[in-house]
Structure 1
Amino acid sequence: MVVRARQERPLLLLLTLVASLALLAGMAWPGVLAGWLLLILVVVARKPAVLPVEEPEVVEEEEPVFDPLPQVAATLGALDIPAFVLGQDASVLFQNKAAEKAFGALPTGSHLSAKLRSPGILDMVRETIATDEPNQIEHSERLPSERVYMLRVAPIDLGQRAPETPDDEVQKFYLLSFKDISELRRIDRMRSDFVANASHELRTPLASLRGFIETLQGPARSDPAAQERFLAIMFDQATRMSRLVDDLMSLSRLELKSHIAPDQTVDLRPLIGHVRDALLPLAEDLGVEIRTHLPEGKVEVLGDRDELVQVFENLIENACKYGQEGKFVDVYLKKGPSKPVEVSVVDQGPGIPAEHVPRLTERFYRVSVADSRSKKGTGLGLAIVKHILTRHRARLIVKSEVGKGSEFTVRF
């Protein structure tokens, strides 16, 4: 508040008038001086009237509270790896587009456990929140396709904090990021599989070829009949190696894109007819009849036509080779109004023992090694089928009973 003094002007004017009149009346100079001194004393001794004058109060504007989340969100939104911003209670404050694509959208404020239920991930996040120290673990996802991630969680240092703010009042954020290492693990697995299985599979035909070549260069040098027989066997062995290499390369290509679902529409009715026609020469050689049971109208699914042809060729060819004793292979295409599309391949062969069924889709796994090699199998056919169906978000269901045949069903 500011004060402003104001003298009482009427009194001052009255005293000035008295002194002037005295001077005009011929009073002596000492009397005039005395009057003036009296005037000065009265003015000085009398306190001035003080009137308060209120000034408008100046309201100090508060500085806006710094919210770092929009800046953090804008930065993480440009990343191509899944990332979550977590609060101090492990609630999800932000997830970028890559995280939505990989794990699905999660409402803001939801707890992380609503989307990721792995105890290892939740324990890691809790430990980082409690200690403010970064942590990382390796985590595998099996659905919708097998993926391996290196997860890392760390506190975000925002550098925005008032000096007088207590530690317990500072809002903290944590970044949970996912680095996809599926390709590295796949390469490691392929390397070990190749060393353990492919090298063994290649060793036998290579040893056979070497032996026949030595025979042709030695004792059978001048024997045309032996040469013709040995060359035929050598051709079969070379063809077997070629099939093995082709299957390995096909499996490798499928694994590269197993997490990308196809978006084309395929009508299964003409596709199954095409596969049956392509396998008719093989079925006739084996004495097997392929019978198809197809509904009327279109039966469409999302898929890659060439890959689905490969699936049903593998299944029907296996049924013809290993179930040829039953003389018939039946292919059923089923579609109900409220049921998924299914394709079943049924043979009347010897069947598969129950202990072998869970391992049929493993690479190089065979129920009978000798039987498989005699039928020119590579041990990779059902592994290829499994990887194609994984990409198509479909399942392979195997039912078999010894002495009663086998049924392989693809359920979309």
Structure 2
Amino acid sequence: MTQSQSPLDQSADVQPTASPLTRLGEARWVLLAALCASAAAVVLYDVPIGPAVGFLVVVALTAGFIPRRAASRRFKLNAQRDIRRMWPGTGMKVTVDALPTPCFVADGRGITRYINRQALETYKGVKPGDPLSFSLRAPSLLEAFDRVCATGEAERISWIEKVPTETWYEAHLAPIYMPGNAGQERTPSLPDFILVVIQDLTENRRLERMRTDFVANASHELRTPLASLTGFIETLQGPARNDPEAQDRFLTIMLDQAGRMRRLIDDILSLSRIELKAHVRPANTVDLTEIIRHTADALSPLSADMGVEVRLRIPDTPVRIKGDRDELIQVIENLIENALKYGHSGEYVDVTLSELSDSQDAPAWQLAVRDYGEGIPPEHLPRLTERFYRVDVESSRAMKGTGLGLAIVKHILTRHRGRMEVESDPGKGATFKVNLPALENTQGLPEKISA
């Protein structure tokens, strides 16, 4: 980071001057000695008065108008000391630049005096000389800064910003007193500088929230199958020890409960992996029509068991978008599987892929999965993507659902910069619409399509 030369670096060129009267006062002993010498010369050696007075005048002019080196150096040091109280030295700048987090050095009046590289990258447009409030607008941080100025004691605060996304920050504010300024006159308890170090805690808080949700929700969901397994094992060890028919029935139920726990754990781990890379947009190019056909073929045994026909209405030509193939398969599989399980009474599930060419937003493709079942009551629509939320708990568990499918879909679409809409009319089925951005450059074929 290059910055213009600070006043401290220019202090070598400062040449403060004192008034002639001040210099005469400092040279009073020299003038007194010259006066005594002139008087002795007149009295003892009969020197004319004129030359003696002229000698005194020359000495006085020399003392009054020619700066002495010692006085000049003293004024220069005083000027440097005053400047050092305003601008941090090179050592402080090098130390602040070595810190891995955004750091600001401000004076006691709240004026920014130095910013390290990380702060310049995070807070665009900030520059030395601006008030600190121009860059850091959090009221709690500015209040803490005022308290540090008043008390001279370090503080640590944290705050949350809601725009553009929810982020957590922590700041450490520490006063700095320059060693050479102990005897200088200044405002009582006002530090020479205040170091403000800011740390982004967003990732840590999200991981903490993820762990909390996992413990709360997973423990609740796992309690029922674990209780069932424990009860059946105790029964097999006791009353059903010698009952082969009961053993077969109980072992079948135990296998079903173990499968339920396995599906739940797989979904939780899948959701965790997706959340960890939610901010990284996929870079591969995939064919969306191929993914839809592949998923529909994979679910054909389930659709046959349910007695439901999956009707595809997709383009014959490839539809290329930026995406992760495995994650998009997971999205389409969840939507079609839900339509088969909860809308099987309608006998059909329509899967449609169309281009939103008339949209005012960026070009996009819309995937719509519609069933003709009972539909979803409107009061449940806003909460469908919440973790472990079920419209009908008994029906969901009977269909071997974990309550995490649509939460996984939401996080995958967030990573792909897509969005989902749900339309439902009770008694007439439900439609899940997924919008995914189209490729910006549609000319020609891409070099490689992910398999």
Looking at structure 2, the residues matched to 396 and 124 of structure 1 have their Cα atoms a distance apart, in angstroms, of 43
Output one character per residue of 1:41-78: Cα deviation in whole Å (capped at 9) or x when no partner. Answer: 99735457456598765572524433316544432333
Once residues 158 and 345 of structure 2 are traced to their aligned partners in structure 1, the CA distance between those partners, rounded to angstroms, is 48
User: Offset at 1:241?
Assistant: 0.6
- CA–CA distance in 2 between the matches of 1:347 and 1:356? 17
Q: Contact 1:84/1:176 (CA < 8 Å) preserved in 2?
A: yes
Determine if contact 1:85/1:94 at 8 Å carries over to the other structure: yes
Q: 1:154 to 1:331 in 2, by over 3 A?
A: farther
Q: Deviations over 1:373-407 (max 9, x none)?
A: 11111112223333344445554444444344132
Report whether the alignment pairs 1:345 with 2:365: no
In structure 2, the CA distance between the partners of 1:152 and 1:254, relative to structure 1 (3 Å rule), is farther
Partner residue, 1:330 = 351
2:283 maps to 264
Q: Which residue of 2 aligns with 1:291?
A: 312
Q: Deviations over 1:161-190 (max 9, x none)?
A: 373343289754341422527436634652
State whether residues 150 and 178 of structure 1, in contact with CA within 8 Å, keep that contact through their aligned partners in structure 2.
yes
SS of the aligned residue for 1:186 comes to: helix
Structure 1 residue 111, shift from structure 2 partner: 5.8
Whether 1:205 aligns to 2:225 is yes
Amino acid at match of 2:252: A
Larger gyration radius, structure 1 or structure 2: 1
| One of 298, 304, 310 as aligned partner of 2:330 | 310
CA pair 199-340 structure 1, distance change in 2 beyond 3 A: same
Paired residue type of 2:432? E
Which residue of 170, 179, 187 corresponds with 1:150?
A: 170
CA contact (8 A) 1:139 1:148 kept: yes
SS in 1 for 2:98: coil
Given the alignment, which residue of 37, 41, 44 partners 2:46?
44
Aligned equivalents of 1:248 and 1:356: distance in 2? Answer: 22
Query: Which residue of the partner structure matches residue 28 of structure 1?
Result: none
Partner of 1:36: none
Q: Does residue 249 of structure 1 match 2:249?
A: no
Q: Which one of 200, 207, 211 corresponds to residue 186 of structure 1?
A: 207
Measured against aligned partners, the alpha-carbon deviations of 1:113-144 in whole angstroms (never above 9, x if no partner) come to 66655544444445445554444333335667
Compute the displacement of 1:370 (Å): 0.8
Which residue is 1:363 aligned to?
387
- Could you give the per-residue CA deviations for residues 352-382 of structure 1, whole angstroms, max 9, x where no partner exists? 3333233223221212111111111111222
CA contact (8 A) 1:161 1:170 kept: no
Q: Is the 8 A contact 1:84 1:95 kept in 2?
A: yes
Please tell me the residue identity of whatever aligns with 1:406.
T
Deviation at 1:245, TM superposition (A): 1.5
Partner Cα separation in structure 2 for residue 367 and residue 165 of structure 1: 72
Give me the CA root mean square deviation. 4.2
C-alpha distance in 2, partners of 1:42/1:98?
Answer: 79
**Amino acid across the alignment from 1:409:** V
Q: Tell me what 1:108 maps to.
A: 127
Write the mapping of 1:10-409 to structure 2, written as runs, cut at 5 A. Answer: 44=46, 46-47=48-49, 49=51, 50=54, 52=58, 57-58=67-68, 60=72, 62-63=76-77, 64=80, 65-66=83-84, 67-68=87-88, 71-86=91-106, 94-99=114-119, 103-108=122-127, 118-129=138-149, 131-141=151-161, 147-161=167-181, 163-167=183-187, 172-178=193-199, 180=201, 182-183=203-204, 186-187=207-208, 190-191=211-212, 193-214=213-234, 216=236, 218-219=239-240, 221-223=242-244, 227-258=247-278, 260-262=279-281, 264-267=283-286, 269=288, 270-286=290-306, 287-294=308-315, 299-301=320-322, 303-326=323-346, 327-332=348-353, 334=355, 336=357, 338-339=361-362, 341-348=364-371, 349-392=373-416, 394-404=418-428, 405-409=430-434
1:134–1:278: structure 2 CA closer, same or farther, 3 Å change rule? farther
Deviations 1:138-160 (A, max 9, x none): 33356676543333333344445
Q: How many residues align?
A: 371
Identity %: 40
Instruction: Normalising by structure 2, report the TM-score.
Output: 0.66
Alpha-carbon contact 1:68-1:158 (below 8 Å) kept:
no
Q: CA deviation at 1:263?
A: 5.5
- Contact kept? 1:140, 1:147, Cα under 8 Å: yes
Write the distance in 2 (CA, Å) between the matches of 1:94 and 1:284: 70
Cα deviations across residues 231-275 of structure 1 (Å, max 9, x unaligned)?
3332221111111112222333344444x4245233352444444
List alignment gaps of at least 5 residues for structure 2: 1-23, 25-29, 35-42, 438-451
Change (3 A) 1:42 1:122: closer
Distance 1:119 1:355 in 2: 38
SS class of match (2:224): helix
- Per the alignment, do residues 342 and 237 of structure 1 end up closer, same or farther by CA in structure 2, a change over 3 Å counting? same
C-alpha distance in 2 between matches for 1:395 and 1:126: 44
Distance between the aligned counterparts of 2:143 and 2:67, measured in 1?
A: 55
Q: Please give the TM-score of this superposition, normalised by the length of structure 1.
A: 0.71
Paired residues of 1:152 and 1:176 also in contact (CA < 8 A): yes
- Paired amino acid for 2:286: D
2:163 and 2:409 map into 1 onto residues whose CA distance is 17
Change (3 A) 1:108 1:379: same
Query: Partners of 2:260 and 2:220 in 1: how far apart?
Result: 13
| Secondary structure, counterpart of 2:261 in structure 1 | helix
| Structure-2 separation of matches of 1:78 and 1:87 | 20
